[in-house]
């Protein structure tokens, strides 16, 4: 139970982190000479950040469900629903940015990057699950 609570906190922290980062106005970027600005000016850096954020969110959901005591949360169906939830959260965040965040807009490519990141979370989870199979055995 304690492990499931820890993983739930991880999921909630991921949701909050994504919300905060995607709520930053585009004009709030740091000094153009800072290392963050230099990295973000690289081609596709924005899309890679989206993929990492939503891949991490999906991964946290998969671990949370796997550590649960309920066997119904360890199914393929549950993983599929978690992926759908991550993708819908990404779409919702794009609409949120469009209407409520100054200097940020709606980008279909960001939504695709969010979906790709979430989908990439599944093979990463399966890799860790196989690698650390003993940790998952209850």
CB-count exposure of residue 137 (10 Å: 0-12, 13-18, 19+): exposed
Q: What is the pLDDT of residues 81-98, one digit of tens each?
A: 999 999 999 999 999 999
Q: Judge whether residue 19 has pLDDT over 90.
A: yes
Contacts of 107 (CB under 8 A, 6+ apart): 94
Stated pTM of the model:
0.86
């Amino acid at each position: 139970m304690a492990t499931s609570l820890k993983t739930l906190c991880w999921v909630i922290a991921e949701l909050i982190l994504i919300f905060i980062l995607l709520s930053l106005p585009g004009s709030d970027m740091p000094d153009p000479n800072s290392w963050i600005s230099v990295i973000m000016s690289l081609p596709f850096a924005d899309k890679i950040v989206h993929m990492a954020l939503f891949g991490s969110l999906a991964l946290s959901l998969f671990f949370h469900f796997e550590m649960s005591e309920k066997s119904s949360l360890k199914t393929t169906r549950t993983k599929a629903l978690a992926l759908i939830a991550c993708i819908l959260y990404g779409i919702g965040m794009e609409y949120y940015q469009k209407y409520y965040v100054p200097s940020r807009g709606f980008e279909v490519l960001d939504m695709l990057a969010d979906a790709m990141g979430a989908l990439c979370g599944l093979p990463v989870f399966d890799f860790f699950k196989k690698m650390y199979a003993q940790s998952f055995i209850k």
